Amino acid sequence: MAIGFGMIGCGMISRFHYRALEDVRGAEMVGCYDRNPDSAKKFADEVGIVAYETLEEMLAASDVDAVSIGTPSGAHMEPAVQAAKAGKHVIVEKPLEITLKRCDKIIAACEKHDVKLGTIFPSRFHPASKTLKKAMDSGRFGRLTLGDAYIKWFRTQEYYDSGAWRGTWKLDGGGALMNQAIHTVDLLQWLMGDVLEISALTDTLAHERIEVEDVAVATLRFASGALGVIEATTAAYPGYLKRVEVHGLAGSASIEEEDIKTWDFAKARKSDEKIHAEMAERKSGGGGASDPSAIGHHGHAMQFADFCKAIKGGGTPAVDGPEGRKAVEIILAIYKSAQTGKPVKLPLKSDPVLGKK
CATH number for the domain harbouring residue 182? 3.30.360.10
Mean pLDDT score, 184-210: 98
Q: Are residues 182 and 246 in the same domain?
A: yes
Contact by Cβ (8 Å): 70, 96: no
Q: Is residue 350 part of a domain?
A: no
Look at residue 282 and tell me whether its pLDDT is greater than 60: yes
Same domain for 91 and 199? no
Convert the pLDDT of each residue in 230-258 to its tens digit. 999 999 999 999 999 999 999 999 999 99
Residues 44 and 161 in one domain: no
In the chain, % of residues over pLDDT 70: 96
Write down the pTM of the prediction: 0.95
Q: Is residue 355 situated within a structural domain?
A: no
Instruction: Look at residue 356 and tell me whether its pLDDT is greater than 60.
Output: no
Q: How far is CA 110 from CA 26, 84, 89, 281, 284, in A?
A: 23, 5, 8, 43, 36
Q: In what order do the strands lie in the sheet with 50-51?
A: 50-51, 27-33, 3-8, 66-69, 89-93, 117-120
With bands split at pLDDT 50, 70 and 90, how would you rate the model's confidence at 278? confident
Instruction: Indicate which CATH number applies to the domain containing 9.
Output: 3.40.50.720
State how many domains the chain has. 2
- Examine residue 174 and state whether it is found in any structural domain, yes or no: yes
Q: What is the mean pLDDT of residues 43-57?
A: 98
Tell me which residue of 332, 289, 201, 126 sits closest to 347, measured CA to CA: 332
Q: Is residue 190 domain-shared with residue 106, that is, in the same domain? A: no
Range of the domain at 167: 124-292+327-345
**What DSSP designation does 179 have?**
I
Same domain, residue pair 97 and 214: no
pLDDT tens for 196-205 read: 999 999 999 9
Asked whether residue 322 is domain-assigned, the answer is: no
Does residue 242 lie within any of the structural domains? yes
Do both 178 and 270 map to the same domain? yes
The answer, yes or no, to whether residue 38 has pLDDT greater than 90, is yes
What is the amino acid identity at position 338? A
**354 within a domain of the structure (yes/no):** no
Same-domain status, 10 and 43: yes
- Co-location of 163 and 242 in the same domain: yes
Q: pLDDT digit string (tens) for 326-349?
A: 999 999 999 999 999 999 999 999
Same domain, 215 and 74: no
- Whether residues 85 and 166 share a domain: the answer is no
- Adjacency order of strands within the sheet including 195-203: 259-265, 251-256, 243-248, 144-152, 227-233, 215-222, 195-203, 344-345
Q: What does the pLDDT read at residue 193?
A: 98
DSSP-derived pairing of the beta strands 3-8 and 27-33: parallel
Note whether residue 250 is domain-resident: yes
Beta bridge partners of 147: 228, 246
Name the phi and psi angles at 342, rounded to 5: -130, 155
Residue 353 maps to a domain: no
> Residues 104, 238: one domain?
no
**115 and 223 in a common domain:** no
